[in-house]
Amino acid sequence: MTSAELTAIVLGLLGGLALFLYGMQMMSSGLEAAAGNRMKSILERLTANRVLGVLVGAGITAVIQSSSATTVMVVGFVNSGMMTLRQAVWIIMGANIGTTITGQLIALDVGVIAPLMAFVGVAMIVFLKKPQIHHYGSILAGLGVLFIGMDMMGTAMDPLKEWPAFVNVVSTFSNPIIGILVGAGFTAIIQSSSASVGILQALSLSGVVGLDTAVYVLFGQNIGTCITAVLAAIGTSRNAKRTTIIHLMFNIFGTILFTIICQITPLVSFMQGLTPDNPAAQIANMHTLFNVVTTLILLPLGGVLVKIAMKILPDRKDDQTEGMHLAYLAAELPTHLNQEHPIGYSAMTITALRQELNRMLGMAKDNIVTAFQAVLERDPKRVGDAENTEEYIDFLNKEISHYISKLIVNETNEQSSAAVSAYFKITGNIERIGDHAMNICEYSQMMEKKDIHFSQEAREELKNMETVCIQAMDLLEQDGAEPTAWLSKVSALEQRMDDMTESYRRHQMERMRKGACSDEACIIFSELLTDFERIGDHALNIAQERARVDDISAEG
């Protein structure tokens, strides 16, 4: 084979692989834009049951043509708390079945109509105005481009069957260890088992490899596809990392099982006999059998897999990270997610943001309690604790704002973008509540230093202010309430805080006229009333933005 011929083969293979991967990316992006916001509710409804969980995983993966993308999604959901580790097991099992659909479509020669699919999809994007239609057009065009790339790879590799050197190399794949390592390594590099299985089918269609040579490469490809999820788990929670361990265990178990079966039984010959004239179908059928049988064997053992994963990666004392840290968001967007988000990424991010903000809100509430108690007890020693909490609130505000600013640049879903923007405003308002709580707390220092005392009436008013502030914060921490009714409650409470502020100012003026309080006490009380009123204002701002997010989620 001449160098020119070899160059043509390599370029054809690379070009076809580029189209294949780009087609998959188009499909995933289209599906994310079309259905990303609905992914959370679908998963919450269906993953409680193991069989339905497997079906959901298989269905999602069959649509987006990538078990890696589904597993990355699951890792994110577990990390954000949207899904338990046990629920993740069923989705992963289903994802391994769903990923075999690509190979089956290739075996059925659906690629014959690939140019038509690509044309129709592009036409939907170019000629129709509705954004939702564009998303579906992206899915269809991506599927067409995927199969055009597949055909291009097959054509490029056809001459290889006449090249003895390549045939000799491929023949070594029949050695189980070599085949598994080659399959795992190549799939790990391109991060797509669908693409690597497709290349294997293209080789078989070109007559270069048969099932007896390709079977161990096929098994290794199932292990190699786990690399994407492993990368996605970097910087995530302990449970998210365990999700990738379960994914690896599933495929390693299946590989060991089927390697032994193929060594001691005529399974390969049997699969060849089912479709003797279609080598691509032989590979597709073996791939499907591998994942279906492994799932059926492990389905009753999901709890066992979870326990093993927890043994391999146990909880540690230092898992409760000391110092200031984000609990639900990674400090940085994972590098492989900076440009393209996996399906469901919007849903998992919005959930993680909400949990992080609830955590921040809890800290602000704690500081309100500390602040009022410090003033009521004239205890400036509490200021140190409040300062530590306030520093943490400021840290979270900075980190969440930084995260959102990076996220929103790449967010293509309009609804998700609006929700993320609302959370950006919420974090700023929580930080301001923390500032006002800190102001109140610091008044205790001046009271102690100058021996300032409040009258009994003023103290009762302070206790009332504390009670109403805590009621407002408790309302803000509520989840699952009907947005309109919930917002009305917060709004009514904020109005009550305004009315209390006005009433207490009048009472203060009366006390001043009667000489019942000192000038310095009146100044501090007046400043404290201002902080109290501002806390109510910021609470209402938070409620309005969160109601917006809830409305967006309901529309999605």
| Closest of 260, 315, 317 to residue 290, by C-alpha | 260
Q: How far apart are CA 319 and CA 148, in angstroms?
A: 48
| 3 falls within a domain | no
Q: How far apart are CA 124 and CA 138, in angstroms?
A: 8
Q: How far apart are CA 313 and CA 230, in angstroms?
A: 14
Angle between the 456-477 and 519-555 helix axes, to the nearest 10 degrees? 10
Answer yes or no: do 272 and 384 share one domain.
no
322 pLDDT higher than 80: no
| 463 falls within a domain | yes
Q: What is the mean pLDDT of residues 397-422?
A: 77
Query: At 332, is the pLDDT very low, low, confident or very high (cuts 50, 70, 90)?
Result: very low
Answer yes or no: do 234 and 282 share one domain.
yes
| 4 falls within a domain | no
Q: How far apart are CA 170 and CA 167, in angstroms?
A: 5
Tokens of 85: 């580790």
pLDDT of residue 65: 60
522 pLDDT higher than 70: yes
| 518 falls within a domain | yes
Tokens of 547: 């109601």
Q: How far apart are CA 469 and CA 78, in angstroms?
A: 34
| 328 falls within a domain | no
pLDDT of residue 345: 55
| 9 falls within a domain | no
Answer yes or no: do 352 and 439 share one domain.
yes
| 8 falls within a domain | no
| 315 falls within a domain | no
Q: Which of 43-52, 97-106, 275-284, 313-322 has the lowest mean pLDDT?
A: 313-322
pLDDT digits (tens, 9 = 90+) for 469-483: 999 999 998 876 678
- Of the chain, the percentage scoring pLDDT greater than 90 comes to 21
Q: Which residue has the higher pLDDT, 314 or 153?
A: 314
CA distances from 366 to 87, 155, 434, 539 (A): 34, 67, 9, 15
Q: How far apart are CA 157 and CA 202, in angstroms?
A: 7
Answer yes or no: do 242 and 370 share one domain.
no
Question: Domain end: 275, 294, 310, which one?
Answer: 310
Tokens of 264: 């001691």
Q: How far apart are CA 444 and CA 372, in angstroms?
A: 9
Phi-psi region of 451 (alpha: psi -120 to 50; beta: other; left: phi over 0): left
370 pLDDT higher than 90: yes
Q: Which of 3-7, 77-81, 375-379, 429-433 has the lowest mean pLDDT?
A: 77-81
| Closest of 285, 12, 22 to residue 154, by C-alpha | 12
Answer yes or no: do 346 and 269 share one domain.
no
Q: What is the mean pLDDT of residues 358-377?
A: 92
251 pLDDT higher than 80: yes
pLDDT of residue 335: 40
Q: Which of 29-33, 185-189, 228-232, 416-420 has the lowest mean pLDDT?
A: 29-33
- Length of the chain in terms of residues written: 556
Answer yes or no: do 416 and 345 share one domain.
yes
Biggest alpha carbon–alpha carbon distance for the chain: 108
pLDDT of residue 338: 39
547 pLDDT higher than 80: yes
- Of the chain, the percentage scoring pLDDT greater than 70 comes to 79
The amino acid that residue 116 corresponds to is L
pLDDT digits (tens, 9 = 90+) for 289-316: 988 998 889 888 878 888 898 888 886 5
Phi, psi of 47 (to 5 degrees): -90, -5
Query: At 369, is the pLDDT very low, low, confident or very high (cuts 50, 70, 90)?
Result: very high
Q: How many CB atoms lie within 10 A of CB 390?
A: 22
Q: What is the mean pLDDT of residues 501-510?
A: 92
Answer yes or no: do 386 and 303 share one domain.
no
Query: Whole-number mean pLDDT of the chain?
Result: 80
Query: At 333, is the pLDDT very low, low, confident or very high (cuts 50, 70, 90)?
Result: very low
Q: What is the mean pLDDT of residues 326-333?
A: 62
Answer yes or no: do 294 and 391 share one domain.
no
CATH for 376: 1.20.58.220
Cα 154 to chain center, whole Å? 35
Query: At 528, is the pLDDT very low, low, confident or very high (cuts 50, 70, 90)?
Result: very high
Answer yes or no: do 376 and 272 share one domain.
no
pLDDT digits (tens, 9 = 90+) for 335-367: 443 344 444 555 667 777 888 899 899 999 999
The amino acid that residue 453 corresponds to is H
Non-local (6+) Cβ contacts of 536 within 8 A are 469, 472, 493, 494, 497, 498
Question: Domain end: 294, 310, 326, which one?
Answer: 310
Q: Which residue has the higher pLDDT, 139 or 507?
A: 507
556 pLDDT higher than 70: no
| Closest of 149, 76, 95 to residue 341, by C-alpha | 76
Question: Domain end: 277, 310, 343, which one?
Answer: 310
Answer yes or no: do 236 and 272 share one domain.
yes
pLDDT digits (tens, 9 = 90+) for 420-471: 888 899 999 999 999 999 999 999 999 888 888 888 999 999 999 999 999 9
First to last CA, the chain: 57
Residues 187/255, Cβ–Cβ less than 8 Å: no
Burial class (CB in 10 A: 0-12, 13-18, 19+), 183: buried
| Closest of 42, 18, 72, 16 to residue 340, by C-alpha | 72
Answer yes or no: do 417 and 480 share one domain.
yes
Number of domains in the chain: 2
Residues 542/426, Cβ–Cβ less than 8 Å: yes
pLDDT of residue 428: 93
| Closest of 306, 299, 295 to residue 238, by C-alpha | 306
pLDDT of residue 432: 95
Q: How far apart are CA 499 and CA 505, in angstroms?
A: 10
Query: At 215, is the pLDDT very low, low, confident or very high (cuts 50, 70, 90)?
Result: confident
| Closest of 7, 36, 21 to residue 419, by C-alpha | 36
Q: How many CB atoms lie within 10 A of CB 131?
A: 11
26 pLDDT higher than 90: no
Q: How far apart are CA 152 and CA 10, in angstroms?
A: 11
Answer yes or no: do 362 and 268 share one domain.
no
Domain that holds residue 109: 18-310
Residue-wise burial string across 293-332, b where 16 or more C-beta atoms lie within 10 A, e elsewhere? ebbeebeeebeebbeebeeeeeeeeeeeeeeeebebbbee
